[in-house]
Structure 1
Amino acid sequence: MKKLGLLPKLIIAIILGIGVGSIHNELLVRVLATFNGIFGNFLGFAIPLIIIGFVAPGIGDLGKGAGKILGITAGIAYLSTVAAGSLAFFTNSVVFKYILTPGSMNLIDAQNPEHSLLEGFFKVDMPPIMGVMTALLIAFTLGLGIAASEGDTIKKFMKEFQGIVESLISNIIIPLLPFHIAGIFANMTYAGQVATIMSVFAKVFAVILILHFTVITVQYFIAGTLAGANPVVLIKNMIPAYFAAIGTQSSAAAIPVTLEQTKKNGVNDGVAEFVVPLCATIHLSGSTITLVSCAMAVMMLNGMAVTFSSIFGFILMLGVTMVAAPGVPGGAVMAALGLLETMLGFDQTLLSLMIALYLAQDSFGTACNVTGDGAIAIMVNKISGYKLGKDKNKTKAA
């Protein structure tokens, strides 16, 4: 099992969970529900730490090489992320009406009162040290202070703290996650909800993949138009980076391939070497599409109101809170848990379901992010005065 990737483990956990729930053994389901309650409370405790550990160092790093190119890159990356999330909202608002049944999860509960979700045998309270908004404000304050300060003491401290949080996720949360997901699906199967959830998986994922490819096409159409290059050729050159991201599930791990393919597209070496690593931490168009789509699906299934004002605010905050999400699978959704809880009203069960939905396709969201990084590099290259081409290191546009 240790040699298996996270996705195979999650698939096995889902199958085992459905199997356990199908035999309707209340004792076994309640044992799993007890673990879920403890794990969910621990996750709630960790959320403020994750926010501070990710966001503060991420914003602080933006102070490196500060200047025109930094502002241009950060602005385009944020605009791309927000635009992708907005596209997902408007598309899902139309499509989900035809493929999902609003309130179906509540309807199942009403029809099967004897098989509602089971509670655990006991609870262990793990109150977080601060609220989510407090953590965000502290992270923003520290991050901006690090970027503006000439000293490096607090920067080193926050980098070490970020390492601790990354270890918390990679060594505790991620390894225990399959057991948590198994418990969630066992409970939902016992309550008669799993058929609805599985149908949602297939339908929502299909929509997400179409949105990913649409955003990549738009990004390279804009980049190609600005640079006077063929978008199809530009996308073709980035295919190795796309598959590298699918294999690694990490924008950071895919940087060498992304950088090489971006240079093959004719981007100035200096521009590429600055933009690609930076965008690996601040450009998350694919992850935003996935989070917005999964959140809207979960909300519709539970009869929650889905409005543009609430989702757009969520999108705007996502572009900031996911900055420097670590190079481990699920970093983006972990950073977004606090926003899902405070802005969209998700409880621990819905948060767990969001984690499962997101992680099942994390590779494709990362691949969309990485491929889009190459398009942003082309745009920045043009705005900075360089032309695409073999003489990219010496030739500037007139």
Structure 2
Amino acid sequence: MKHKIKPGLLPRIIIAIAMGIAIGWISPEWFARLCATFNDIFSQFLGFLIPLIIVGFVTPAIGDIGIRAGKMLIVTLLLAYGATLFAGYTSYFTGIWLFPSMISQDSAMTAVEQGGTTIEPYFTVGMPPLMGVMTALVSSFVIGLGIAVTSAEVLRSAFAELRSVIELTIRKAIVPLLPFYIFGIFLIMTVSGQTGTILISFAKIIAVIFGIHVFILVFQYCIASIFARKNPFKMLWTMMPAYFTALGTSSSAATIPVTLRQSIKMGVSEDVAGFVVPLCATVHMSGSALKLVACSMALMIMQGMAFDIGMFSHFIIMLGITIVAAPGIPGGAIMASLGLLSSILGFSEAQNALMIALYISMDSFGTACNVTGDGALASIVDRFFRPRPRKVPSAS
């Protein structure tokens, strides 16, 4: 019996972009308006889902982490969060240095900046979210910490089931419809004459982000080598199977067995690796943070939006928390961060759609950066918490 091979999300996004551009050149207005109507309904549903994604994933993640109290947990969490913040700020300052000379504001982007184009939907369906993004974050922390402290098993089970429901919704509704959403965005931009500017800028942004992610990995292993007293490039080379596995799966969770094996092969003790690697698969998001910061800054420069280090500091700090335990699906981090893009950076629905397309176009590289960096963090933690070898009593 032959099994049908289903293309992954990235190939479908690429096909959607290509078809949106091609059909956009010949599309009649009624078809463009039909696409605009679908996009408006989909974006409304996505906006409704964002607070539920935060509550459904961050709450049980905090509750589960709280059980594993101890110094190793605290050190690992601080290292992971610090690495994520460092990646975000590195991406910000690199963008400030390079993007203004690489990316210019174009008058064709004015419509996107204002949140729409000249193509109007036939009708709209309002779907106001149950709560705001910050309310969802605060609620997640309060309930998650409460679950951890009181060992509230009923609440823990309830939020675990909510996580399963939200993940199923993302897998069965959001991800399958996402290519059609991207198709509509690029078709409408082609009709409005905006596509050329965006695609050229996309290529420049991707090249810069790839360079940043190589620097982040080399830097992390140079720091780890100080603690492990080993050659950083040999350590990084040992982790390459995890890197390429993540490139293929686009999932930190699916790569855990390989990351664990290579970390032990690199010299990390089994006890430390068994604790740090699975934990970092959900809390260490350097690759995701650097991509989100670079992409959002680039789009803001393209669209003439004002920003400063204070705004992006707020974004980076909250980002490191929000994308904890992001769904184990391609593009999970961008789904979890859409609320921050809107509430902190002021992104419109159209701008969020561009972020989704740009982020997913290199999603696997961010995941590969995350999981490969997990090995570096495990090496640092191992320096302080490596189990001492048992002394064998000598024969008298």
TM-score, normalised with respect to structure 1: 0.94
Q: What amino acid sits opposite 2:350 in the alignment?
A: T
Residue 358 of structure 1 deviates from its aligned partner by 0.7
C-alpha distance in 1 between matches for 2:128 and 2:5? 32
CA displacement 1:21-72 (0-9 Å, x = unmatched): 1114211111111100000000011011011011111111111321000000
Give the direction of change, closer, same or farther, for the CA distance of 1:105–1:296 in structure 2 (3 Å limit). farther
Distance 1:373 1:109, change over 3 A: closer
- For residues 100-148 of structure 1, the C-alpha deviation after alignment (integer angstroms, 9 at most, x for no partner) is 00355446889xxxx9441111101111111111111111111111121
User: What's 1:85 paired with?
Assistant: 88
Q: Which residue of 1 aligns with 2:78?
A: 75
How many residue pairs match? The answer is: 386
1:296 correspondence with 2:283 = no
The amino acid of 1:96's aligned partner reads F
What residue is the counterpart of 2:28 in the other structure?
25
Decide whether the 8 Å contact of 2:112 with 2:303 is kept in 1.
no
Match of 1:175 in 2: 176
Which letter maps to 2:23?
V
Residues 362-381 of structure 1 mapped to structure 2, 5 A cutoff:
362-381=363-382
Amino acid at match of 1:51: I
CA separation in 1, counterparts of 2:151 and 2:129? 32
Structure 1 position 354 matched with structure 2 position 355? yes
Pairwise CA distance, 1:238: 0.3
Distance 2:88 2:196 in 1: 28
Paired AA for residue 20 in structure 1: I
Contact between 1:20 and 1:29, CA under 8 Å: does it hold in 2?
no
Tell me, what secondary structure is at the counterpart of 1:130? coil
Q: CA shift at 1:149, angstroms? A: 1.7
1:13 corresponding residue in structure 2: 16
What is the identity percentage for the equivalent residue pairs of Structure 1 and Structure 2? 50
- Cα distance in 1 for residues equivalent to 2:78 and 2:316: 15
Distance across 2 between alignment mates of 1:109 and 1:219:
37
Q: Distance in 2 between matches of 1:385 and 1:200?
A: 47
The match for 2:394 is: none
- The CA deviation at 1:150 is 2.2
Question: Match of 2:37?
Answer: 34
1:304-328 C-alpha deviation (Å, 9 max, x unpaired): 0121110111000011011111211
Name the SS of the counterpart of 2:128 in structure 1.
coil
CA distance in 2, matches of 1:377, 1:357: 31
Amino acid at match of 1:34: T
Distance 1:192 1:57, change over 3 A: same
Aligned to 2:238: 237
Paired residue type of 1:166: E
Distance 1:61 1:172, change over 3 A: same
Q: Where does the alignment leave 5 or more consecutive residues of structure 1 unmatched?
A: 387-391
Amino acid in structure 2 at the alignment position of 1:64: I
Say yes or no: does 1:46 pair with 2:49. yes
Distance in 2, Cα, partners of 1:54 & 1:107: 35
CA separation in 1, counterparts of 2:194 and 2:342?
22
Gaps of 5+ in 2: 392-396
Which residue pairs with 1:331 in the alignment? 332
State the one-letter code of the partner of 2:364.
S
